[in-house]
């Protein structure tokens, strides 16, 4: 059971690590989100967002191997994914690039919910 939880956390972690390339600058952000993020202040905010996703992704990956990190990683991952999906649902008119992000978050949610249930069951 622990290996399955670890695998599910790895998948969710990789999904959260992917946006980290946005830290490299505006061109990467534009490609990720299909938006013209030419305003320097917006780029700073979005690049910082990429760093935060990297931190959460690293926590999820680490929790795949370090059992004591699992509760925190699961809570953080679920809050992130559910918040984004609710925001996307509340404004259903988004571009194709964001549609891919929504799909990735549904996959992450499909990993995190069973991982949480298995984690709770094993404790």
DSSP for 2-58 reads: HHHHHHHHHHHHHHHHGGGGGGG-HHHHHHHHTS---SHHHHHHHHHHHHHHHHHHH
Q: Alpha-carbon dihedral of residues 112, 117, 121, 123, nearest 10 degrees?
A: 40
Using alpha carbons, list the distances in angstroms from residue 120 to 55, 77, 84, 89, 115. 24, 15, 24, 28, 9
What is the pLDDT, as a whole number, of residue 20? 93
What would the mean pLDDT of 14-18 be, rounded to a whole number? 96
**92 pLDDT exceeds 80?**
no
**CA torsion, ordered 111, 18, 56, 67, to nearest 10 deg:** 50
Q: By percentage, how much of the chain surpasses pLDDT 70?
A: 100
Rounded to whole angstroms, the maximal C-alpha distance in the chain is: 48
- pTM of this prediction? 0.92
CB 105 within 8 A of CB 81: yes
pLDDT at 59: 98
Q: In the prediction, which pLDDT does 31 show?
A: 86
Mean pLDDT over all residues of the chain?
Answer: 94
């Amino acid at each position: 059971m622990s290996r399955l939880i670890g695998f599910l956390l790895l998948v969710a972690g990789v999904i959260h690590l992917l946006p980290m390339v946005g830290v490299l600058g505006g061109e990467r952000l534009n490609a990720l989100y299909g938006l013209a993020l030419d305003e320097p202040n917006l780029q700073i905010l979005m690049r910082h967002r990429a760093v935060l996703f990297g931190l959460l992704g690293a926590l999820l990956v680490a929790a795949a191997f370090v059992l004591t990190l699992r509760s925190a990683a699961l809570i953080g991952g679920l809050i992130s994914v559910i918040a984004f999906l609710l925001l996307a649902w509340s404004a259903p008119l988004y571009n194709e690039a964001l549609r891919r992000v929504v799909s990735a978050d549904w996959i992450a949610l499909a990993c995190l919910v069973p991982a949480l249930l298995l984690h709770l069951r094993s404790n």
